[in-house]
Structure 1
Amino acid sequence: MNQPLRTIGLSTVPELDDHQFVRWQALLEERTGMCMPIQRRSFLQTSLGLRMLEVGCRDYDAYYQMLLDGPAGVMEWSVLVDRLTVQETRFFRDPDALALVEEYLQTHAPGLQQSGQTVGLWSVGCSSGEEAYSLSMLAERLLEPFGGRYAVTGTDISTIVLRKARAGVYSIRALERIPELYRDHVIAGQNAKKFQIAERLRERCCFSQVNILNLKSCPLQSQHIIYCQNVLIYFRRWRRREILDALAQRLAPGGLLVIGLGEMVDWQHPLLEQVHSSRVSAFVRKQSNSSWESARR
């Protein structure tokens, strides 16, 4: 049954009624874990409607069935989820959290270099890569003087943003977010409209598609820094706990987990010790000797 149409510029999209909104809301949460609040109903309607126009479908129920239809439905879902889950990001987005990462790396760099370990940094929900490259810039500056090695992994559910992250090409306006300290050393191929992250940094960064609901099957282990900011707010509280429990298991002893301030204020884990800070929400994995958090008090 065709729906009433709503005009958006030169295009039209069907109106999304209450029943249809709940149905699509449930599908998105079932497959990605993300909860679409009623306040984002207009966003959901626009995103679905415009994609339906692209594939020549004018009915929400018919499009819903299309997504359930074998391999073609899997491919179409991959396209749609890119539209629904891509979130805003930028370079050096949270100075306080990155300052804590910098402090952690400065403290641990000599010991990690002596042990021959490669420092693993994981950007969870990396979107188009700005966060992962910000971590890479910090790691290069702080670890290279000690001969330290590092590897940054960025994961996201969206294949489209991961392609952009791998290319490392951004609008020239994004350059304003990168501190002057890093610009001459990490930027290559700059022109009037775009710039590219230097090859030596791109070689240190790996980007992979991971559904955060399936962290149990994620191969990443023993990470020294897990950076998971502005991700948990899209999930229900019980699911946030599941995600954080899985991330805690993937920290190396003494490793640092950073989450968004206020995203999970009452969460605790027996393996972790909370970092005492009013500006950053972070945890350190306990180890047999005195922890970094205890030493910094």
Structure 2
Amino acid sequence: MVSADCDNTHYPASRGLRSGYAMDDEQFEQWRDLLESRTGMTLSPERRSFLEANLGTRMRELGCDSYQAYYEKIMYGPGAIVEWATLVDRLTVQETRFFRDEEAFNLAREHAEYLFSRANRRVVEAWSLGCSTGEEAYTLAMILSEAAGSAPGQRYFGVTGSDISLVALDKARNARYGPRKLVTTPPFWQERYFRPLEDGTRQIIPELRDRVAFSQLNVLELKHAPMHGMDIIFCQNVLIYFRRWRRREIANRLAERLAPGGLLILGSGELTNWQHPELEPVANSQVLAWKRSDSLNENRSDYGQSR
């Protein structure tokens, strides 16, 4: 039985899909345009099956039997805002893991160690953009903890994780991960920063969780983001979902939020032919990164070179 708020009699021009959830070209364009206009993310034609599967699952849960009926519900129906948030969670939560890009995290740690080595530097702030369920943000916290611990004197750090998905952020704050999530995490890090729970999962220790804050953020609204003066911005596997012109726009916004001497790390191949007047590419063949100019360090040419 079709639910009242997704009943075809309420929303005209619906197309029955009782024999399946196959999507024609016009429907795909309609949904792709909606997703891009609201989140900036674009779906290639090759990802039509991904869109069909996720929309179809949600439509069955609601009792909708057509893409048009569900589209009208998202646009104009009761609870449209809540339903859109639910759908975004289905479409944007990405699979991730701890220490996903080891070389990038090594570069971030080297940068943190350099900052902590300066006599006037006591605090380092990092930002994980598109943090999903928290693995990247907590990995940053782990390496910053190690860098702070090896520096002379008292050193502090903080990490901000942002994502568009509220469901993913709730999981990140809970900081509990099953064995599959930890299969590639070296034993050293598991023993040092996780505690085992009775159900077989592991949870980030409170001392590290207290250093990490999570916030919902739509990348299209970066100009309103409260994050400023960041020493490290980690934005990997995010830009691939955006058009090239928007990738450059996002990178420019992130550059504005770097502190002097700050480090911006992107995913390999996510951005080409981009320059910023205040940033210099980091000489590392395995990591795509830029460093904002720092008057105290402009001549340190060996920084970030792979060994």
TM-score range, shorter chain: over 0.9
Alignment of 1:39-188 (within 5 A): 39-69=46-76, 72-111=79-118, 114-115=119-120, 117-146=122-151, 147-188=154-195
Give me the whole-angstrom Cα distance separating, in 2, the residues matched to 1:292 and 1:83. 47
Q: Offset at 1:68? A: 1.4
Give me the whole-angstrom Cα distance separating, in 2, the residues matched to 1:260 and 1:84. 20
Q: Relative to structure 2, which stretch is displaced further, 46-55 or 246-255?
A: 46-55
Q: Give the fraction of aligned pairs with identical amino acids, expressed as a percent.
A: 46
Which residue identity does 1:252 align to in structure 2?
A
Which residue identity does 1:163 align to in structure 2?
D
With over 3 angstroms needed to count, the CA separation of the structure-2 counterparts of 1:70 and 1:224, relative to structure 1, is farther
**Cα RMSD between the aligned structures?**
1.6
Does residue 197 in structure 1 map to residue 210 in structure 2?
no
Q: Relative to structure 2, which stretch is displaced further, 254-263 or 138-147?
A: 138-147
- When the two structures are aligned, how many residues end up with a matched partner? 289
Q: Which residue of 1 aligns with 2:44?
A: 37
Q: Is the 8 A contact 1:254 1:292 kept in 2?
A: no
Q: Is the 8 A contact 2:15 2:68 kept in 1?
A: no
With over 3 angstroms needed to count, the CA separation of the structure-2 counterparts of 1:64 and 1:292, relative to structure 1, is farther
> What 5-or-longer segments of structure 2 have no aligned partner?
1-13
Q: Offset at 1:212? A: 0.4
Q: Which residue of 1 aligns with 2:273?
A: 266
Q: Is the 8 A contact 2:17 2:65 kept in 1?
A: no
Give me the whole-angstrom Cα distance separating, in 2, the residues matched to 1:225 and 1:292. 20
Q: Is the 8 A contact 2:89 2:166 kept in 1?
A: yes
Q: Offset at 1:173? A: 2.4
> What 5-or-longer segments of structure 1 have no aligned partner?
7-12
Q: Which residue of 1 aligns with 2:227?
A: 220
Match of 1:3 among 4, 13, 16: 16
Give me the whole-angstrom Cα distance separating, in 2, the residues matched to 1:135 and 1:249. 21
Q: Is the 8 A contact 1:284 1:293 kept in 2?
A: no
Q: Is the 8 A contact 2:97 2:182 kept in 1?
A: no
Give me the whole-angstrom Cα distance separating, in 1, the residues matched to 2:87 and 2:30. 15
Q: Offset at 1:116? A: 5.2
SS of residue paired to 1:68: helix
Does residue 289 in structure 1 map to residue 296 in structure 2?
yes
Give me the whole-angstrom Cα distance separating, in 2, the residues matched to 1:124 and 1:117. 23
Q: Offset at 1:57? A: 1.1
Q: Offset at 1:71? A: 6.3
Q: Is the 8 A contact 1:275 1:293 kept in 2?
A: no
Q: Deviations over 1:200-233 (max 9, x none)?
A: 1111000110000100000000000000001100
Q: Offset at 1:110? A: 2.1
Q: Offset at 1:291? A: 2.9
Q: Deviations over 1:260-291 (max 9, x none)?
A: 11111211100101001211000000022333
With over 3 angstroms needed to count, the CA separation of the structure-2 counterparts of 1:195 and 1:219, relative to structure 1, is same
TM-score, normalisation: structure 2: 0.90
